[in-house]
Amino acid sequence: MKQKLLQINALTKTFPGVKALDDVDFTLKQGEIRALIGENGAGKSTMIKILAGIYQKDSGEIIFQGKKVDIDEPAKAKKLGLAFIHQDVNLIPYFNAIENIWLGFNYPREGFKFNKKQMEAEVKELTDKLSFEFDLHRPVSQLSTANKWLVAILKAFMMDAKLLVLDEPTAALTDKEVKELFINLKRIKQLGIGIIYISHRLEEIFEIADSITVLKNGQKVADRKIDEVDKETLIKLMTGKKALTRFPKREDTNKSEKNILAVKNLSGNDYQNICFNLKENEILGFFGLVGAGRTELMESIFGLREIRTGQIKLANTEIEIKNPGQMVQSGIVLIPEDRRDAGLVLNMGVDENISLPNLNLMTKSSFLKNIDKSKQRKEAAQIVEKLNVKTPSLTQPVKYLSGGNQQKVVIGKWLFRDTSVFIFDEPTVGIDVGARSEVYALINNLVADAGVIVVSSDLMEVMGICDRIAVMSNGQLTGIVDKKDFSEDKILQLAYKEVE
């Protein structure tokens, strides 16, 4: 029988107006991977922040390694051996792995110099113990996201962590990288380390976790062994809805055979010789491994990157792509993958973000280009209502919204004007199940009078919502699969197909 590592009893935390955690119990044994799941706002991050010493609990007790502890500041959590590894892995990009791992510890010295040999030796000892394999001497900016996670984990081990908290580790990973990470996590757990695993991706929880705790509205609604539950049950527990169809059904109205976008022999720096058509009322998926060139291709079509050769026709008229502004005018928009980085001006309000690309349609005088603020408010309010964006006010800076609501604002920006082609790059990364199905429903609505391209690394997602799937590998289009021929094997084969 494995020993209890962490026990939380009756944890409660109230914020003004909200009970973020209400009498929550939680246990974690040594060598156990426990998934912590729930919708945005369920209380996961509040609980983690209390463990990390960032928030103070109102009541309840935390018992760690058999002793009652009081974590009143982050340094205390570190001292106890609790390590928190976050989505945006915090590493210094131009330091290599060894330097990053040692950061925060006293570098060993040899006379007037750092003792680099000893630094490397100690890190090597750790990597051997965990059987991690990657280049320790490269700047971490050149490592894959998966390897950055390994560096962060090593850093945790360096401080002798007994408990790891991983927050959405797979959000930016390809399926292959996820598999590697999981192999590594299983090794870690054999060393008796306990892991709290937070993720929105239910499929992988069944692969990696031993047990699951589900939170909803600040309360614990379930504590199960992994083999006692299935996905449907979990979704039901999280959302409270009976049976939530993951991919909402699309009303097949008019299926046009009209080509709205035709790309011919397009080549750029990261992709070669791409040909495809997009029909009106069609959702075309773009699947591939990270680095296959999908994002680069889409950014070129949107005017953000250089195109070397090739031809693009929009509604049978050839267009020359100059810049995003011109593409927006002609009716092509791109909803970027990283919404905080490329989709939103975080300090600006919901209304200002929504109106940002549309200001030229909201001016009072074409000479002064002065903004009609009442129109801006009205249009923003309509979009907020239509997309069910949860925000206290229209002027609320978007940085205070949850991931799902931020994504709705990014999409909402583009609903104001006439658009014939919507390109979504990873539309559901990092947002919860409920918001996800809302995004899918929205895409389904859009396709009623436009063409939609969805770039995604989530195979289930493209298979669930697309009419056809284009697969890319290493900068080339390796195939386009029709809905009737969809199969995981077939698509993965195309994605892994070796091209020169």
Partner 1 sequence: MKNILRKYGTVIGLFLIIIIFSILKPGVFPTLRNWTNILEQISLLAVIAIGATVVMVIGEFDLSIASVASFAGIMTAGLLVKGISMFLVIPIVLLVGFLFGLINGFFVSKLNILSFITTLSSGTFLGGITFWYSGGTIIFSGIPDQFLIWGQGELFGIPMVIWIMLLIFFIFLYIFNQTMLGRHLYAIGGNEKAARYSGIKVEKNKLIAFGLTSVLAALTGILLASKLGSAHPTAGGGFLLKSYATVFLGMTLFKQGEPNIPGTLVGVLIMGVLANGLTLLYVPNYFQDMLTGSIIIAALVFQGMKVQNN
Among the listed residues 168, 282, 352, 379, the single contact to partner 1 using CB under 8 A: 352
Minimum CB distance to partner 1, residue 304 (Å): 7
Task: Go through 132-169 and write b for each residue having 16 or more CB atoms within 10 A of its CB, e for each that does not.
Answer: bebebeebbeebbbbbbbbbbbbbbbbeebbbbbbbbb
Sheet holding 283-288, edge to edge: 332-335, 421-425, 451-456, 283-288, 468-473, 476-482
Minimum CB distance to partner 1, residue 363 (Å): 6
Query: In this complex, which beta carbon is closest to partner 1, that of residue 213 or of residue 358?
Result: 358
DSSP assignment, residue 496?
H
Residue in 151, 46, 54, 158 with CA at minimum distance from that of residue 107: 158
| Residue 360 sits in the site that holds partner 1 (CB under 8 A) | yes
| Residue 226 sits in the site that holds partner 1 (CB under 8 A) | no
| Residue 329 sits in the site that holds partner 1 (CB under 8 A) | yes
Concatenated DSSP letters for 195-234? EEEE-S-HHHHHHH-SEEEEEETTEEEEEEEGGG--HHHH
Minimum CB distance to partner 1, residue 459 (Å): 26
| Residue 99 sits in the site that holds partner 1 (CB under 8 A) | no
Cβ-proximal residues to 179 (8 Å cutoff; 6+ apart), any chain: none
Residue in 1, 2, 7 with CA at minimum distance from that of residue 67: 7
C-alpha 468/C-alpha 296 separation (Å) is 20
Among the listed residues 344, 411, 421, 469, the single contact to partner 1 using CB under 8 A: 344
| Residue 378 sits in the site that holds partner 1 (CB under 8 A) | no
| Residue 312 sits in the site that holds partner 1 (CB under 8 A) | no
| Residue 330 sits in the site that holds partner 1 (CB under 8 A) | no
Binding mask 39-58 for partner 1 (x = CB under 8 A): --------------------
| Residue 74 sits in the site that holds partner 1 (CB under 8 A) | no
| Residue 1 sits in the site that holds partner 1 (CB under 8 A) | no
How many residues bind partner 1 (CB under 8 A)? The answer is 33
Q: Biggest alpha carbon distance in the chain?
A: 77
Tokens of 114: 């750092």
C-alpha 86/C-alpha 167 separation (Å) is 5
| Residue 14 sits in the site that holds partner 1 (CB under 8 A) | no
Among the listed residues 251, 252, 257, 341, the single contact to partner 1 using CB under 8 A: 341
Q: Which stretch binds partner 1 (CB under 8 A): 281-289, 313-321, 366-374, 441-449?
A: 366-374
- Where do contacts with partner 1 occur on this chain (CB under 8 A)? 302, 304, 323-325, 327-329, 333-334, 336, 341-348, 352, 355-357, 359-360, 363, 368-371, 373, 397, 413
